[in-house]
Chain A
Amino acid sequence: MTTSIDARKVLSDNGALGGLLVLVVALSVLAPSFLSTQNLLNVGVQAAVVAVLAFGSTFVIVSGGIDLSVGSVAALSAMVGAWSSTEAGLPGPLALLLGLATGVVAGLVNGALVSYGRLPAFIATLAMLSVARGLTLVVSQGTPLATPDVVSELGSNLTPFLPVPLLVMLVFFGLTAFVLTRTYQGRAMYVIGGNEEAARLSGIDVRKQKLVVYALSGLFAAVAGMLLAGRLASAGPQAAVGYELDAIAAVVIGGASLSGGVGRASGTLIGALVLAVLRNGLNQLQVSPFWQQVVIGVVIALAVLLDTLRRRSSTR
């Protein structure tokens, strides 16, 4: 009895979880190969890049902002890492660190434009989307570069049943949940997203906190970029184009509010899994990629619609 109530509570707290379960059940009936261990691991690997990007976007969206640059920043970070090792001859770990630092710097620039330059987040990060993509092309001269070994290993398996991307995704999930629920920065994000003026008048340094938020988003984007490059063993100039929209979709499917103040790490993880399961399942069912885009769009709209209806009925 109590367990059924608990299950209901978990489902009503995580609107998207019900959707994910429905999706998994439907696909395992329609496509028998879907439930195989190997395929499920594949789903995890496929979800990893978007999930890590989306965790970073969760910080931004909870604090009432938006980051459109994460796809470009991911590509630039991976490219800087690859270039530092292949072209500049730096040792792999150092190249990796340089790549991650690139993401943080891009994030700091976003944050400075938003908090000190008073630019709307949409505009600041839209500009960064273009700048970072352009720099990626400049650095790469338009051709893919090989990644250092340490990055390529990010795409490999630790054991046959533990792909590294899956591990990284889970670690960053834990990290995101910890930051959001336990740390000062995380709690401040909810306050700023909920009411920026109240945050300021309560003595929270809103501008500094926003800087931290965008820097985190940039760092997470860089990690996602490394994961993506690792799987392909090369950093591509056109890598992760449009991923920022997948990241935002994952966060929103997970129940966050684009007006800020609401959102959770678990929701974002589920959102990213919903997208990955859907793509994987549609492939299994041999749905054409053209139609896949249509289906994914419909699912995003449905997920958020259901979530809105659920909230409305629970506050009545």
Chain B
Amino acid sequence: MAELLRATGITKRFTGALALDGVDFEVRSGEVHVLLGENGAGKSTLVKVLAGVHRPDHGEVVLADGVRLAVIYQELTLVPELSVAENLFLGRPPRRFGVVDHARMRRDAVGLLDRVGLAVDPRARLGDLGIAQQQMVEIARALDQDAGVLVLDEPTAVLTDTETDRLLEIMAELRDQGVGLVFITHHLDEIRRIADRSTVLRDGRSVGVLPRGASVEQMIELMVGRTISEQYPRHRQDPGEVLLKIDGLTRDGVFRDVSIEVRAGEVVGVAGLVGAGRTEVVRAAFGADRYDSGHVEVGGERVAGGDVRAAVRAGLGLVPEDRKGQGLVLTSSVGENLGLVTLKSATRVGIVDRKGQRGRAAEMAAALRIKTSGLDQEVRELSGGNQQKVVIGKWLLADPKVLVLDEPTRGVDVGAKVEIYELVNRMTAAGRAVLLVSSDLPEVIGMSDRIVVMAHGRVAGELPAVGTTQDQVMALAVQEISA
């Protein structure tokens, strides 16, 4: 197999901090080379060095003759308002007499879309496509530019299981066509399915290369530098009184007659396919969106619909699925973000008790082991896992009766995941409750006490978490419910 790219002794410093320390990395034609490591281990920096975004302080990157490298970043670089075809040829549309040749563009687009197995009309508006399809468009675009090396930076973080399966298939096809793929993911099972080998980074150093078929335990141990005894350290206990009662909640055309009860000391998981209405239900219960009928009770008291403040007063909290878009104020510091929910209660005659807010934020940052240079550091500079801890921390400071976690560990590394699970345990041990919405089936099964499965906007069934298999959950999630 021909070597397409070789990086040797890559060292990169950012204002004193060593981001990469003598890393060697190479990609051969026709392989999937996984880059594995916790957030902050240096994966993104290495990708940026490979792509020429950052210049390394030491070491060099050599691409084989005529080989191009393309990176598919997590945030897509497409224009939602333009058509699929226009996006595929963004910046270099085929031209005739100086005018864009739309007919040819559409023809070429069909061929490209075929290569990634995407059957959409090239004239469709890109924004109307699902996120998985948009990703395929992005990959197709990279292929058209004859990328010999394709870097995929956490592409599956936003995909459902079926979409992930499809992506892995396409990756295998591209591998067979001789493309060299670099794949970054936090899902270790995906690595077991597709990786030909995995380079593990820890604290900016390459700590080992695992061969195909390495076990999950081996990966975790190399990544974290210690063994994590339990991936899902749930401490279950006897549930107390009902803290949250969602009763017959309906929003026409979105979800119908959804009832969920959560008791003190309990974690109730909500599973289902993307589009099953899970996020919509919990957002409505929290007052973020309206609903048409049904009602919500917290601690036995009814909460007015469509009123976030009433829900917060009643003792509900929501960690939304879109961390950056809905959970954090990126222009503000870690301390300010931790104080968001308690801002009101810390105000006396209009004046905020800033000292108290700061003190509590500092305690919370320490208790959650948020890795930050201080409360004044901008929250945008933190890694994904630490940002998520900030969002959870702002709610913990308000001590809600029930905390709703919507995809709390998406894009979060193994170590931080376990820490978030420990927070869940701590809440339930204190007599609070957690409603856990997650597309990560092992997580739902491992961390919940009961699992509510949703399909097509309705509750398809409920399962005890202990002893339930992923297949049983999926069987409920995919079932057709007659209306």
Q: Which A residues fall within an 8 A CB radius of B?
A: 181-185, 187-188, 190-191, 193-195, 197-205, 257, 260-262, 316
Contacts and interface: CB of A to CB of B under 8 A. Distances in A.
B48 to A, nearest CB: 13
Interface in B274-315: 286, 288, 308-309, 311-313
B350 A183 contact: yes
B344 interface: yes
B394 A190 contact: no
Contacts of A197: 325-326
Nearest to A262: B331
B308 A194 contact: no
Nearest to B319: A201
Given A183-B351, A184-B350, A190-B332, A198 B343 contact: no
A185 B350 contact: yes
A194 B354 contact: no
B336 interface: yes
Contact of B308 (A201, A260, A261): A201
A204 B343 CA distance: 9
Given A197-B325, A198-B327, A191 B340 contact: yes
Contacts, number: 81
B326 A201 contact: yes
Contact of A190 (B326, B336, B344, B347): B336
A86 to B, nearest CB: 37
Contacts of A200: 288, 308
A265 to B, nearest CB: 16
Contacts of B341: 202-203
B352 A183 contact: yes
Contacts of A316: 15
Contacts of B286: 201
A194 B329 contact: yes
23 contacts: A183-B350, A184-B352, A187-B352, A190-B331, A191-B329, A193-B331, A194-B329, A195-B326, A195-B330, A195-B331, A198-B325, A201-B286, A201-B326, A202-B340, A202-B343, A202-B394, A203-B312, A203-B313, A204-B343, A257-B331, A260-B331, A261-B332, A316-B15
A208 to B, nearest CB: 10
A261 B329 contact: yes
B328 interface: yes
Contacts of A260: 331
A191 B336 CA distance: 9
| Chain B CB within 10 Å, residue with most, of A193, A195, A257 | A195
B288 A201 contact: yes
B318 interface: yes
Interface of B: 15, 286, 288, 308-309, 311-313, 318, 320, 325-332, 336, 340-341, 343-344, 347, 350-352, 354, 394
B309 A205 contact: yes
B332 A191 contact: yes
Contacts of B344: 184, 203-204
A182 B349 CA distance: 11
A108 B380 CA distance: 34
Nearest to B341: A202
A203 B341 CA distance: 7
Contacts of A261: 329, 331-332
B249 to A, nearest CB: 18
Contacts of B347: 183-184
B288 A194 contact: no
Contacts of A190: 329, 331-332, 336
| Chain B CB within 10 Å, residue with most, of A193, A203, A262 | A203
A197 B320 CA distance: 10
Contacts of A202: 312, 340-341, 343, 394
Contacts of B309: 203, 205
Contacts of B351: 182-184
B340 A198 contact: yes
A44 to B, nearest CB: 29
A181 B15 CA distance: 30
Contacts of B332: 190-191, 194, 261
A269 B309 CA distance: 35
Given A190-B336, A198-B328, A257-B331, 12 more contacts: A187-B336, A188-B343, A191-B343, A197-B326, A198-B340, A200-B288, A201-B288, A201-B327, A202-B312, A203-B308, A260-B331, A316-B15
Nearest to B322: A197
A191 B286 CA distance: 20
A206 B240 CA distance: 36
A3 to B, nearest CB: 22
B275 to A, nearest CB: 21
A201 B320 contact: yes
A187 B325 CA distance: 19
Contacts of B326: 195, 197-198, 201
Nearest to A257: B331
Contacts of A198: 325-329, 340
A201 B286 CA distance: 9
B37 to A, nearest CB: 23
Top-7 shortest CB links A-B: A261-B331, A194-B329, A203-B312, A194-B331, A184-B347, A202-B340, A195-B329
B352 A182 contact: yes
A299 B320 CA distance: 43
Contacts of B354: 181-182
| Chain B CB within 10 Å, residue with most, of A182, A187, A202, A316 | A202
B329 A199 contact: yes
A195 B328 contact: yes
A183 B312 CA distance: 21
Contacts of A185: 350
Contacts of B288: 200-201
Nearest to A188: B343
Contacts of A262: 331
A200 B327 CA distance: 10
Contacts of B340: 191, 198-199, 202, 204
Contacts of B331: 190, 193-195, 257, 260-262
Contacts of B311: 203
A297 to B, nearest CB: 28
